[in-house]
Protein backbone atom coordinates (compact mmCIF):
# COMPACT_ATOMS: atom_id res chain seq x y z
CA UNK A 1 0.00 0.00 0.00
CA UNK A 2 2.82 2.39 0.89
CA UNK A 3 4.59 1.63 -2.39
CA UNK A 4 1.41 2.50 -4.31
CA UNK A 5 1.24 5.85 -2.51
CA UNK A 6 4.90 6.64 -3.29
CA UNK A 7 4.52 5.68 -6.97
CA UNK A 8 1.32 7.72 -7.35
CA UNK A 9 2.92 10.75 -5.65
CA UNK A 10 5.95 10.54 -7.94
CA UNK A 11 3.82 10.18 -11.08
CA UNK A 12 1.67 13.17 -10.03
CA UNK A 13 4.85 15.27 -9.78
CA UNK A 14 5.94 14.23 -13.26
CA UNK A 15 2.54 14.81 -14.88
CA UNK A 16 1.56 17.91 -12.87
CA UNK A 17 2.76 20.22 -15.61
CA UNK A 18 2.82 17.85 -18.59
CA UNK A 19 1.21 20.33 -21.02
CA UNK A 20 3.70 23.07 -20.15
CA UNK A 21 6.63 20.63 -20.35
CA UNK A 22 5.54 19.52 -23.82
CA UNK A 23 5.39 23.11 -25.07
CA UNK A 24 8.83 23.95 -23.67
CA UNK A 25 10.20 20.92 -25.52
CA UNK A 26 8.41 22.01 -28.71
CA UNK A 27 9.99 25.48 -28.46
CA UNK A 28 13.48 24.01 -28.84
CA UNK A 29 12.98 23.67 -32.61
CA UNK A 30 10.78 26.65 -33.53
CA UNK A 31 12.26 29.52 -35.57
CA UNK A 32 10.00 32.12 -33.91
CA UNK A 33 11.47 31.32 -30.47
CA UNK A 34 14.69 32.40 -28.77
CA UNK A 35 15.67 30.09 -25.91
CA UNK A 36 18.33 30.49 -23.21
CA UNK A 37 19.15 27.67 -20.81
CA UNK A 38 21.18 28.04 -17.61
CA UNK A 39 22.53 24.69 -16.43
CA UNK A 40 24.33 23.67 -13.24
CA UNK A 41 26.22 20.53 -12.40
CA UNK A 42 24.34 18.19 -10.08
CA UNK A 43 26.95 17.08 -7.53
CA UNK A 44 25.18 13.75 -6.96
CA UNK A 45 24.97 12.70 -10.63
CA UNK A 46 27.84 14.86 -11.91
CA UNK A 47 25.63 15.86 -14.89
CA UNK A 48 24.65 19.33 -16.06
CA UNK A 49 20.95 19.97 -15.43
CA UNK A 50 18.73 22.84 -16.53
CA UNK A 51 18.01 25.30 -13.72
CA UNK A 52 16.45 28.18 -15.68
CA UNK A 53 14.96 28.21 -19.17
CA UNK A 54 14.00 31.55 -20.73
CA UNK A 55 11.88 31.54 -23.86
CA UNK A 56 11.08 34.60 -25.97
CA UNK A 57 8.26 34.18 -28.48
CA UNK A 58 8.28 36.57 -31.43
CA UNK A 59 5.37 37.09 -33.81
CA UNK A 60 3.68 33.76 -33.06
CA UNK A 61 0.20 34.31 -31.61
CA UNK A 62 -0.70 30.63 -32.16
CA UNK A 63 2.14 29.52 -29.85
CA UNK A 64 1.12 32.11 -27.26
CA UNK A 65 -2.42 30.70 -27.35
CA UNK A 66 -0.98 27.18 -26.90
CA UNK A 67 0.87 28.34 -23.77
CA UNK A 68 -2.26 29.98 -22.37
CA UNK A 69 -4.19 26.73 -22.95
CA UNK A 70 -1.39 24.68 -21.33
CA UNK A 71 -1.41 26.94 -18.26
CA UNK A 72 -5.18 26.44 -17.92
CA UNK A 73 -4.91 22.66 -18.37
CA UNK A 74 -2.11 22.32 -15.79
CA UNK A 75 -3.60 24.85 -13.35
CA UNK A 76 -5.41 22.32 -11.15
CA UNK A 77 -2.07 20.65 -10.32
CA UNK A 78 -0.30 23.88 -9.32
CA UNK A 79 0.54 24.57 -5.68
CA UNK A 80 0.27 28.34 -6.31
CA UNK A 81 -1.22 30.25 -9.23
CA UNK A 82 -0.98 34.00 -9.77
CA UNK A 83 -2.84 35.70 -12.60
CA UNK A 84 -2.38 39.39 -13.34
CA UNK A 85 -4.95 41.22 -15.45
CA UNK A 86 -4.74 44.68 -16.95
CA UNK A 87 -7.94 46.14 -18.32
CA UNK A 88 -9.66 42.76 -17.90
CA UNK A 89 -7.05 40.97 -20.04
CA UNK A 90 -4.47 38.51 -18.68
CA UNK A 91 -1.03 40.14 -18.83
CA UNK A 92 1.00 37.58 -16.86
CA UNK A 93 0.75 34.21 -15.15
CA UNK A 94 2.89 32.46 -12.54
CA UNK A 95 2.41 28.81 -11.53
CA UNK A 96 4.42 26.98 -8.88
CA UNK A 97 4.46 23.20 -8.94
CA UNK A 98 6.34 20.99 -6.47
CA UNK A 99 9.79 21.20 -8.12
CA UNK A 100 9.37 23.80 -10.88
CA UNK A 101 7.86 27.23 -11.49
CA UNK A 102 6.56 28.70 -14.76
CA UNK A 103 5.97 32.36 -15.51
CA UNK A 104 4.42 33.88 -18.62
CA UNK A 105 4.09 37.50 -19.67
CA UNK A 106 2.95 39.28 -22.81
CA UNK A 107 5.19 41.71 -24.64
CA UNK A 108 8.81 42.02 -25.54
CA UNK A 109 11.84 43.20 -23.58
CA UNK A 110 14.38 45.66 -24.92
CA UNK A 111 18.10 45.31 -24.19
CA UNK A 112 17.65 47.18 -20.88
CA UNK A 113 14.99 44.69 -19.70
CA UNK A 114 12.09 47.11 -20.15
CA UNK A 115 8.82 45.48 -21.18
CA UNK A 116 6.79 46.80 -24.07
CA UNK A 117 3.50 45.45 -25.33
CA UNK A 118 3.69 43.94 -28.78
CA UNK A 119 1.08 41.74 -30.44
CA UNK A 120 2.23 38.15 -30.93
CA UNK A 121 5.17 38.41 -28.50
CA UNK A 122 5.58 36.92 -25.04
CA UNK A 123 8.14 35.46 -22.68
CA UNK A 124 8.11 32.26 -20.63
CA UNK A 125 10.48 31.35 -17.80
CA UNK A 126 10.91 27.93 -16.24
CA UNK A 127 12.78 27.73 -12.93
CA UNK A 128 13.76 24.36 -11.47
Judge whether 95 and 80 are in contact, CB under 8 Å.
yes
For the cut 70, the answer to whether the pLDDT of residue 56 exceeds it is: yes
Q: What is the pLDDT of residues 85-111, one digit of tens each?
A: 989 988 899 999 999 999 999 986 554
For the cut 60, the answer to whether the pLDDT of residue 25 exceeds it is: yes
* Cross-strand pairs, 34: 56
Judge whether 104 and 124 are in contact, CB under 8 Å.
yes
User: According to the model, what pLDDT value does residue 11 have?
Assistant: 40
DSSP state of 7: H
Amino acid sequence: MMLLFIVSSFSMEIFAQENLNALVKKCETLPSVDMNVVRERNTQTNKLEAKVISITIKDNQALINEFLDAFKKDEENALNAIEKKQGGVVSSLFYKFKNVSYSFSFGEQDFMGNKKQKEGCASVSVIY
